Amino acid sequence: MIRLFLLCLCVPFFASEFENLSLETCIQKARVYYPLHKNTALLEQALNLSLDKINLTFVPRLKFTGKFTHQNEVTDARFLGVSSPLYEPIDKTQYQVAAELSLPIIDSGSAWANKALQRASNAVSKASVQNELYKVQESVINAFFSSLLFDEQLKQNEIYINDLQKDYENMLSRYKNGVALKDNVDKISIELLNAKQDKQNLQSQKDIANDTLSRLIGLKDFNLEIPSFENCKEELFKFEFDFENSRGNIFSKRPELDYFYLRKEEAQTQKKLELSKSLPYVDAFVQGGYGNPGLNMLKNGTDSFYIVGLRFTWDFSNLYSKYQQDELIRKEQLQIGSLEDEFYLNAKISLNSNIKTAKSLIFQLSQDDEIIALQEKIVLNSKAKFLNGVLSINDFLSDVNQFYIAKLQRSYRQIQFLSIIYQIKQLVNEWNLRN
């Protein structure tokens, strides 16, 4: 009695270890657990570092320079008529060290354009991560419904084995009583062994699907929730209506569209950066140094010096290749546009195909129930005929197999229908997860 009480206490504990998971929950967990998800935070950190680096453009810059030279000719004041005995020409060997502190005043938007480009490139990288995570959803859907399919087939297989086991025991009893042939017992035994082999194969396939799903979502023990068949039928009609009336807007939640848009924006930002490189640059600077000679080129000997002022720079070299650069950007945008058109074409073809397949499966499923009911009657009649000796064991087992296959077909079609509905959800990104 005490053992029974302890067992009752333990059952809820062990049952709670297995989490019930819907497909949506599996997808959510997979997106968070997948290693690539970490890149989102890393990209944000990288963007902040890049922007901080660009902000340093407006921090005063300290630069040290030095030179040591020898020249064959120097400026000589004696050609002006200076003939003082105290005059000494400057040395042909000269040196100078200097420090310069400069501060940009006008950069013509170069820093701003660089920041915009960094943000645009970072947004493209994040969109690329979303594309990869979107592909992970496809793997989760396949593993999820594969597991459900094999589980349903295992249930049907178990029923089939139980029925064969009863037939085997009944036939063995009849054989022992001398009213059945040993050959009949052996044939049912072979069919039973084949069914058990199928069970082992199905269990192996289910374990593979569960292991794949487990590795994708980061959970070891779980139970899968079968989506509602009626809800999926309603969603099918909704998707069909939206597809016929949306003119492509049904795909607006797909991450690829964000990616295409952001790539176009990145190209446009690159164009603005190239333009800023062709505009003037002004900075303020102060320079101090020590050398021989100093600023007075007619005075021999070492001397200190300083210079304070504004410096203006305008580099026209980028204008030489402006046309080519603009054309490259335009060609890139055209390529992105072609990829976008290809995306819409393939998405529409896939969605239309899935909707038609799902509608066909609904019709087939409506016929499957009638087929199974008729096949069950045939099996019952065949069994009675077989037991009365007017039907061979081969014909009886053939009818039993047909009944088993009919039930398997219905299970397969139902899971296939659910899978297609969720493939449609995937096509239109109905869940629109953003992790």
Three-state secondary structure call for residue 380: helix
Q: Residue 205 is encoded by which pair of tokens?
A: 């396939």
DSSP secondary structure code for residue 86 in this structure: T
Q: Residue 283 — φ and ψ, nearest 5°? A: -140, 155
pLDDT tens string 123-166: 999 999 999 999 999 999 999 999 999 999 999 999 999 989 99
67: alpha, beta or left? (left if phi > 0; alpha if psi -120 to 50): beta
Beta bridge partners of 223: 20
Give the span between the Cα atoms of 115 and 51, in whole angstroms. Answer: 6
Evaluate if residue 4 carries a pLDDT over 50.
Answer: no
Cα dist from 405 to 281, 408, 410, whole Å: 80, 5, 9
pLDDT, residue 231, reads 92
Residue ranges of domains in the chain, CATH in brackets: 48-73+88-106+280-313 (no CATH), 108-279+324-428 (1.20.1600.10)
pLDDT tens string 199-250: 999 999 999 999 999 999 999 888 999 999 999 999 999 998 888 887 668 8
Nearest to 32 by CA among 258, 223, 255, 216: 216
pLDDT, residue 165, reads 92
Cα dist from 3 to 9, 302, 392, whole Å: 10, 103, 52
